[in-house]
Amino acid sequence: MEQKKQVRISVRALVEFVLRSGDIDNRRSGAAQKDAMAAGTRIHKKIQKRMGGNYRAEVPLKYAALDEEEDIELLVEGRADGIFEEDGIVTIDEIKGVYMDLERLTEPVAVHMAQAMCYGYFYCCDRNLDGVRIQLTYCNLETEEIRRFHEDRSKEELEAWFRSVIHEYFKWARYLCHHELQRNQSISGLEFPFPYREGQRDLAVAVYKTISRKKRLFIQAPTGIGKTLSTIFPAVQAMGAGKASKVFYLTAKTITRTVAEEAFRILRSRGLVFTAVTITAKEKLCPMEKAECNPEACPYAKGHFDRVNEAVFDILHLEQEMDRETVLRYAEKYRVCPFEFCLDISSWTDGIICDYNYVFDPNVRLKRYFADGASGDYLFLVDEAHNLVSRAREMYSASVYKEDFLEVKRIIKGKSPRLERQLDRCNKLLLSMKRECGDWQLLEDVTGLAAGIMTAFSYMETFMEEFPEFPERETVLDFYFCLRDFLNVYEELDGHYRIYEENREDGSFLVRLFCVDPSRLLSRCMDQGASTILFSATLLPVRYYKTLLSGNQEDYAVYVNSPFPEENRLLMVAEDVSSRYTRRSPSEYRKVADYIRIVTQSRPGNYMVFFPSYQYMGEIEEILEEEPLKADLLVQGQGMGEAEKAEFLEEFEKERSHSLAAFCVMGGVFSEGIDLKEERLIGVIVVGTGLPMVCVEQEVLKGYFDETEEKGFDFSYQYPGMNKVLQAAGRVIRTPGDRGVILLLDDRFLRRDHLELFPREWEHFQVVNRGNAARCLEDFWNGRGL
């Protein structure tokens, strides 16, 4: 007998999905409610304790509804906040913590009531009751004021209502079951789409085994081996074997998302049935000039929830690849907000391609998957994982600027005397701290400041409710989020943080809660999935990345050797030039210009030259104005837009009889994630060791890692610097047929501490100077080998 197909859903997800209607309006539903969820757990427990021994808290309830036509069981489950009995009446209590004046609440929110009604019906069925009392308990999270609403409902009423809700949901449950069956059948016969390159099969096997064991894996694999397919293919296979429910492909840059889209496209061309949506930032998806999410400013926000479910159902049945353009096309057809539409699509797809933020950033992460510590059988594939260190530090850190308190006080003047006074108190406290601070200093704690900010934040909640429209509201809203972030980070402070204050060169004063080691917070996010695969061409040394990304040296790690012929690459290290600050001078710049000239004249072709900064690049440009190259010069500009980046890369497609020298900044947009194969790029010159600029933040890092790892300079400067070098050098040699040169311009590369960071494929290199470099290049291009 065939087993029933089961679809599980939480009570909250069910009612929020089926019963939503009306407009998107972030003026009413915005900031306050977003934070209520986190603080709500605390207030739930407090209210539950007050209710006495007769009050049962967090009562698990579930109900299985059967679609007999399709033989599908819909299991709806959740936890009632409280159930108690008084005078023979059973009451189902639903508690909601909110940031709002409860006097403004005249009736319960519809979806809150719907949740409680579900629990009421389930409890009637479990206990054979004729009816129950439904109670909504609202609590202001700042004042702890409480307001309650209640209604008596019979079992018959609740049953009729609940049947209407699940009737609407069953068509979605049928889609899920049919699609999963079709997807798994397609996976069972799926084979890797190309002949395996050396090391690629072992890599795919390692990924599959890691997923099967629900572990984490760090992969160091050279550029061009096909890491994307080698991780996606086993992840898809694992889904087919029931080891996962969804794949998250996480990237740091937009350009790498297209690589993941292409990988899924290739697998679909081999018969795979697999839906995937690419989540694009709201600003890049919004069809309006300005992203104002309310019905007065945006026609896509007006009535969005009345149309969005139909739009989602349509796109799921007609598309498997839901990239930015596809999402925009359907959003236009149904007149719905593309960003919110995109998020809704993700609930039903097999894969999600998105930025790191949507899994790791506490302010941006997808609450439908990760709110309240929820977890699932998710696979996290983290592309270019070396980027996650700096990105995570930013996500989990927060700063306040003294000047912002004065600015907001000026804007709200005369509107809220209480808030004005509190902003003034915070400003005076920061002024006192500023006077005691030199250039910068570490602080033991900021308890007093945090208490003042907490009070100001509470007053701001009320202020934003009372004044939904006023000039410069956006500035105040940005400040509101800044305070929120500061308080949220303050709650996370532990030994992985350092607090510092700084008098900045522009005259401003800041206090920063700096997450120097994000491993604990990242690990907590990874634990909400089943398995995490972190991969990059530059995860050396792997101990450094394990320390900062997971905190667990026992995590699996694999090193994949380069599959490309060594004779196709010439690696040169110059012994007679340095980019040290103490050595920077016109004579040293001329040496660099000489090397650029030697390399670009060795063979006509496209070359990239990576500099430590725009300033350094400018010095070389000036020299080449006096003595021009026999090559076209292309220079990366600061703050380039998407169109300018595309134009820059298009230059590598053009036919030339002479060379192209593209000047770029190390660590910038062109130093990773771009794929210039074969003759599109035949050489890379890297100027300097990539060391970050000396600044307060880097010095704080150095001090921390001197204490914890006894490797302050390595962890704060050398390892991140070498990563940028390896990424830049990785632009050349992308396929087995590529031939190209890499020239490292800094004598420090010949020191032991740098040589130990060279990847295995860099074992053989040529030490050159301006006297023999041309001959070395000539021998290589003429096939005379090393």
pLDDT digits (tens, 9 = 90+) for 404-459: 999 999 999 999 999 999 999 999 999 999 999 999 999 999 999 999 999 999 89
Report the percent of the chain where pLDDT is more than 90.
Answer: 77
**What CATH code is assigned to 198-274+350-396+524-563?**
3.40.50.300
Q: What is the pLDDT of residue 784?
A: 65
d(CA 238, CA 227): 17
Residue 70 pLDDT greater than 80, yes or no: no
The residue among 502, 438, 531 whose CA lies nearest residue 219 is 531
pLDDT digits (tens, 9 = 90+) for 332-380: 999 999 999 999 999 999 999 999 999 999 999 998 898 777 889 999 9
Q: What is the pLDDT of residue 42?
A: 61
Residue 771 pLDDT greater than 60, yes or no: yes
Mean pLDDT, residues 632-644 taken together: 92
Residue 36 pLDDT greater than 60, yes or no: no
Q: What is the pLDDT of residue 103?
A: 81
One-letter identity of residue 66:
L
pLDDT digits (tens, 9 = 90+) for 92-134: 999 888 767 788 788 998 899 999 999 999 999 999 999 999 9
* Average pLDDT in the chain: 92
Cβ contact 190:236 at 8 Å: yes
* Domain range summary for the chain, segments of one domain joined by +: 5-173, 198-274+350-396+524-563, 399-515, 566-781
pLDDT digits (tens, 9 = 90+) for 642-678: 899 999 999 999 999 999 999 999 999 898 878 888 8
pTM of the entire structure? 0.91
Residue 60 pLDDT greater than 50, yes or no: yes
Q: Please give the residue that has the higher pLDDT: either 440 or 47.
A: 440
pLDDT digits (tens, 9 = 90+) for 283-295: 889 999 888 888 9
CATH architecture of structural domain 399-515:
Orthogonal Bundle (1.10)
Q: What is the pLDDT of residue 29?
A: 42
Q: What is the pLDDT of residue 51?
A: 76
Residue 181 pLDDT greater than 70, yes or no: yes
pLDDT digits (tens, 9 = 90+) for 558-612: 999 888 888 999 999 999 999 998 889 999 999 999 999 999 999 999 999 999 9
Long-range contacts of 207-214 (CB under 8 A, 24+ apart): 207/231, 207/234, 207/235, 207/533, 208/234, 208/237, 208/238, 210/531, 210/533, 210/556, 211/235, 211/238, 211/243, 211/244, 211/379, 211/530, 211/531, 211/533, 212/238, 212/243, 213/531, 214/530, 214/531
> ∠19-22-26 over CA atoms, to 5°?
110
What pLDDT band is residue 786 in, cutting at 50, 70 and 90?
A: very low
d(CA 496, CA 517): 5
Identical fold for domains 198-274+350-396+524-563 and 566-781, yes or no, is yes
DSSP SS3 for 451: helix
CATH architecture of structural domain 566-781:
3-Layer(aba) Sandwich (3.40)
CATH architecture of structural domain 5-173:
Alpha-Beta Complex (3.90)
Query: What is the CB neighbour count within 10 angstroms for residue 58?
Result: 12
Mean pLDDT, residues 531-537 taken together: 96
Q: What is the pLDDT of residue 785?
A: 54
